[in-house]
Structure 1
Amino acid sequence: MNITQEKTDNLNATIKINLAPADYQARVEKAIKDQAKKANLPGFRKGMVPAGHIKKMYGKSILVDEVNNLLSDTLNNYINEQNLSVLGQPLPKVDEKVEYNWDYNDDFVFNYELGLAPEFAIDFTSKDTITQYIIKIDEATLAERVKNIRRSYGKMTNPDVSAEDDVLYAQLTQLSPDGSVFDGGISNTTSVRLEQIADESVKKSLVGVKKDDEIVVDVQKAYNNDAAKIAAILGIEESEAADLKSNFKLAVKNVNRLAESDLNQEFFDKLFGEGAVTDEAGFKAKITEELEGMMQQDAERKLQNDIYNYAIDKVSFELPDDFLKRWLKATNEKLSDEELEGGYADFAKNLKWTLIENKIITENKIEIKYDEVFAAAKQSLDQQFRMYSPQPIAEEQLAQYAVQYLQNKENANKVFEEVKALKTFDYIKSVATLDKKDIFFNDFKELAK
């Protein structure tokens, strides 16, 4: 056997493997004998089929399989021995001019294309400055949060006439273009929250209405063509809501108003525990602290995204793009040329980040321990459970769920990669300069779009 490597350039190479009969014949004969021992063919007792008979019937397919296995082993061993850092997997180069008899005596020559990882340096220092936003809660955001909390603990009333923040309990009935009720059309009785209506003119038409009033409403205009909201209010599928053109008759059955709870000690104790808050100033301070804690997660995600983009722009290197595109096509048969070109930039960007990430982890001897992966899995599961129930799951039970979750290899790899990314971000944050900047929540929302 003879293996040679020829570099096309710094990012591309070809490996040539020459196989002589002596390289593969012993493997093929052994495979034939093993098959004979397991074969169950008519006219022969199980395990007593002559090897010659197996060779005659299945010899060529066994030969092809064994040569392919030998090539795979040889190629992988060579890549490891030569410490080649490859991207994707080797791609076989087919020479249509060469044909083999596959008669156990052929000399084979196989060529494989390799995409090589680029050489680059990581040199983050304190001169690298990245903005870290500290989100502050403005008065309007605080007032809205306070209002929602007070209403959550308030009492329901039924005023005679609706106001901007009220809820109309109403029946929505689909209308024909001439304004008559559409026979067999959509009809749904639901709660219409006026504060959720996007169009001001539609909202204005629903302010000042009373029980038994009827108003014609353009639902697409009311909800700014938001198919999800329209589907929810009409009780239909989102796909149907997206194409809906009809107006609807809104018949008011009742006007509901959620009165805000009084800012008294009973209310404070319900929220924070007995005596923890004693006045409105303390109440607002607590809510501000809660909101800023929640916003800190958004700020951290923004920081991580900015570090990701900063690192990719700073650490400049080329990729074997032509090879990678051929590899993506070879490994994704349904991938069209248009999809490949449209998605390749994002693929290349993510691959660059992975290479940067791996180099930082390796060069700085950063360890990723099972305990860290386990803790991350628990945290992720806990957040998922809290979406459905505010009551936290017992620590022991959550740990059992995490163990089960990580037994799935795909899940374990996913969490491992998440922890690796966090450690990479932490490293860059530790060596770069983080320019802390206060920003109001509403301004941050615009910035993060």
Structure 2
Amino acid sequence: MNISQEKIDNLNTVVKISINPEDYQPRVEKAMKDHAKKAKLPGFRPGMVPVGHIKKMYGKSILVDEINNMLSDTLNKYLDEEKLEVLGQPLPKVDDKKEYNWDFADNFEFNYEVGLAPEFDIDFSSKDKLTQYVIKVDDETLESRIKNIRRSYGKMTNPDVSADDDVLYAELAQLSPDGSVFEGGINNITSVRLDQVKNEKIKKSLIGLKKGDELVFDINAAFNDDAAKVAGLLKIEEDEAADLRSNFKLTVKNVNRLEEGDLNQEFFDKLFGEGVVTDEAGFRAKITEELEMMMTQDADRKLQDEIYNYSIDKVKFDLPDTFLKRWLKVTNEKLTEEELEGGYNDFAKNLKWTLIENKLMKDNNIDIKYEEVFEFAKGSLEQQFRMYSPQALSEEQLGQYTVQYLQNKENANKVFEQVKALKVFDYIKSAITLDKKEILFSDFNKLTA
């Protein structure tokens, strides 16, 4: 067997593998003997099928399989020994001029196109500057969060007259152009949340209603043509909701109001544990702290996006684009040329970042421990649970959920990649200059909109 490499340029090479009969015949003979021992054919006892019979019936397919196995093993070993950093996977180079008889005496030659990772240098220093935002809680955001938390622990009442943020339990009946109820039209009893009504004029008309009151309104206008919202209220498909042009008659069945929970010790203990918070000032301080913690994560995500884009622009190198496009087409048969061209730039951008990550990890001896993966996963799960309940899980429960989550290989790989990215981001942040800038949450949202 002979294996060689013909370098096309710094990013592309062709690996040639020549296989002679003496290379593959021992493997093929062994494979046929193994097949004979396991074969169950009419007229032969199990395990007693002659090898010659197997060769006659299955010889060529066994030969093809063994040649393919040899090629895979040989190619992978060669790439590893030569320390070639491959992008994508080697692609067989088709040669229409070569034809083989597959008669156990052929000399085979196979060529593989290989895309190579580029060589490049990375030099981050204090001369590289980015803005790091420090987000402060504005009054509107704080009051909105406090209101939502108090309502989560409040009680339902039924006032006589509707007010802002109430819920109307009502019948919605589709009307004909003449204003009469459309016979056979859409009719549904549902809950209409006034805080979700986007049209201010229609919202104002829904305030001050009482049980039994009727109102005609344009339901699509009420929700700014949000087809998903309208479809949910009327229990119809989104496409049908988007095409809907009828007015609806709303008949109030009941007015529901979620009263805010009292700011007392029982409320504080439910939220934060017994005795942690004892008064309204402490409660507001705790909510502010939690909001700022969440906002710190928002600021970190923006900084990470900035670092990602800055790094890709700063670190200049080329990719074997022609090879990679061909590889993407081979591995994604349904991928159209239009989809390939439209999505390739994003693919190349992510691949460049991965190469930058890997080089920084290697050059700076950055490693990842299981404990770090576990703690990151645990923190992520805790945040998810707190979205549904402000009351924290115990450490034991959280640990059990984390173990179960990481037992899924896909989840574990995803978390590993997230930790890897964070470690690289942390390294870059330590190497460059970060100009800290305070900003209100409302203003920060405008930056990321």
Please, what TM-score do these two structures have when normalized by structure 1?
Answer: 0.92
Q: Does the Cα contact within 8 Å between 2:12 and 2:320 map onto a contact in 1?
A: yes
- What are the Cα deviations for residues 77-111 of structure 1, in whole angstroms up to 9, with x where unaligned? 11011110110000001011211111111111111
Q: 1:259 to 1:97 in 2, by over 3 A?
A: same
| Cα displacement (A) at 1:440 | 1.0
Matching residue of 1:325: 325
- What are the Cα deviations for residues 214-247 of structure 1, in whole angstroms up to 9, with x where unaligned? 1122222111122332233334444543443332
- What are the Cα deviations for residues 304-344 of structure 1, in whole angstroms up to 9, with x where unaligned? 22211111111121111111111011011111112111211
Which whole-Å CA distance do the structure 2 matches of 1:116 and 1:320 have between them? 7
Matching residue of 1:29: 29
Matching residue of 2:164: 164
Partner secondary structure for residue 70 of structure 2: helix
Q: Does 1:137 align with 2:142?
A: no
Q: Does the Cα contact within 8 Å between 2:161 and 2:210 map onto a contact in 1?
A: yes
Matching residue of 2:102: 102
Matching residue of 1:125: 125
Which structure 1 residue ranges, 5 or more long, are not aligned?
none
Partner secondary structure for residue 254 of structure 1: strand
Higher mean Cα deviation, 354-363 or 267-276? 267-276
Q: 1:348 to 1:83 in 2, by over 3 A?
A: same
Which whole-Å CA distance do the structure 1 matches of 2:230 and 2:121 have between them? 53
Q: Does 1:445 align with 2:445?
A: yes
Q: Does the Cα contact within 8 Å between 2:270 and 2:391 map onto a contact in 1?
A: no
Q: 1:292 to 1:182 in 2, by over 3 A?
A: same
Partner secondary structure for residue 319 of structure 1: coil
Which whole-Å CA distance do the structure 2 matches of 1:403 and 1:274 have between them? 29
Which whole-Å CA distance do the structure 1 matches of 2:391 and 2:147 have between them? 24
Which whole-Å CA distance do the structure 1 matches of 2:298 and 2:320 have between them? 35
Matching residue of 2:3: 3
Q: 1:138 to 1:377 in 2, by over 3 A?
A: closer
Which whole-Å CA distance do the structure 1 matches of 2:240 and 2:320 have between them? 45
Which whole-Å CA distance do the structure 2 matches of 1:273 and 1:219 have between them? 44
- What are the Cα deviations for residues 376-400 of structure 1, in whole angstroms up to 9, with x where unaligned? 3333344444445555444344434
Which whole-Å CA distance do the structure 2 matches of 1:268 and 1:32 have between them? 76
What is the one-letter code of the residue matched to 1:71?
A: L
How does 1:221-236 map onto structure 2 within 5 Å?
221-236=221-236
Higher mean Cα deviation, 284-293 or 386-395? 386-395
Q: 1:27 to 1:424 in 2, by over 3 A?
A: same
Q: 1:277 to 1:41 in 2, by over 3 A?
A: closer
Q: Does the Cα contact within 8 Å between 2:272 and 2:391 map onto a contact in 1?
A: no
Which whole-Å CA distance do the structure 1 matches of 2:177 and 2:404 have between them? 57
What is the one-letter code of the residue matched to 1:95?
A: D
How does 1:181-192 map onto structure 2 within 5 Å?
181-192=181-192
Matching residue of 1:403: 403
Higher mean Cα deviation, 149-158 or 37-46? 149-158
Which whole-Å CA distance do the structure 2 matches of 1:262 and 1:392 have between them? 20
Partner secondary structure for residue 286 of structure 2: helix
Matching residue of 1:111: 111
Higher mean Cα deviation, 55-64 or 281-290? 281-290
Higher mean Cα deviation, 158-167 or 246-255? 158-167
How does 1:44-443 map onto structure 2 within 5 Å?
44-152=44-152, 158-260=158-260, 281-443=281-443
Which whole-Å CA distance do the structure 2 matches of 1:230 and 1:321 have between them? 46
Matching residue of 1:38: 38
Which structure 2 residue ranges, 5 or more long, are not aligned?
none
What is the one-letter code of the residue matched to 2:84?
A: L
Which whole-Å CA distance do the structure 2 matches of 1:262 and 1:403 have between them? 38
Which whole-Å CA distance do the structure 2 matches of 1:268 and 1:388 have between them? 17
| Cα displacement (A) at 1:143 | 3.0
| Cα displacement (A) at 1:436 | 1.2
Higher mean Cα deviation, 232-241 or 120-129? 232-241
Which whole-Å CA distance do the structure 1 matches of 2:145 and 2:246 have between them? 35
Partner secondary structure for residue 40 of structure 1: coil
Partner secondary structure for residue 225 of structure 1: coil
Count of aligned pairs between the two proteins = 449
| Cα displacement (A) at 1:120 | 0.9
Q: 1:107 to 1:368 in 2, by over 3 A?
A: same
- What are the Cα deviations for residues 28-70 of structure 1, in whole angstroms up to 9, with x where unaligned? 1111111111111111111111111111111111111111111
Which whole-Å CA distance do the structure 1 matches of 2:267 and 2:311 have between them? 49
| Cα displacement (A) at 1:158 | 4.6
Q: Does the Cα contact within 8 Å between 2:162 and 2:206 map onto a contact in 1?
A: yes
- What are the Cα deviations for residues 147-199 of structure 1, in whole angstroms up to 9, with x where unaligned? 44454555655554433333322211222333322333332323322222111
| Cα displacement (A) at 1:278 | 6.4
Partner secondary structure for residue 181 of structure 2: coil
Please, what TM-score do these two structures have when normalized by structure 2?
Answer: 0.92
Partner secondary structure for residue 126 of structure 1: coil
Higher mean Cα deviation, 384-393 or 92-101? 384-393
| Percent of pairs with identical residues | 75
Which whole-Å CA distance do the structure 2 matches of 1:170 and 1:207 have between them? 14
What is the one-letter code of the residue matched to 2:93?
A: K
Higher mean Cα deviation, 343-352 or 278-287? 278-287
Which whole-Å CA distance do the structure 2 matches of 1:410 and 1:268 have between them? 39
Which whole-Å CA distance do the structure 1 matches of 2:388 and 2:5 have between them? 57
Higher mean Cα deviation, 60-69 or 300-309? 300-309
Q: 1:239 to 1:395 in 2, by over 3 A?
A: farther
Q: 1:327 to 1:368 in 2, by over 3 A?
A: same
Q: 1:179 to 1:102 in 2, by over 3 A?
A: same
What is the one-letter code of the residue matched to 2:141?
A: T
Which whole-Å CA distance do the structure 2 matches of 1:98 and 1:207 have between them? 82
Q: 1:11 to 1:192 in 2, by over 3 A?
A: same
Q: Does the Cα contact within 8 Å between 2:135 and 2:292 map onto a contact in 1?
A: yes
| Cα displacement (A) at 1:271 | 5.4
Q: 1:261 to 1:399 in 2, by over 3 A?
A: closer
Q: 1:184 to 1:4 in 2, by over 3 A?
A: same
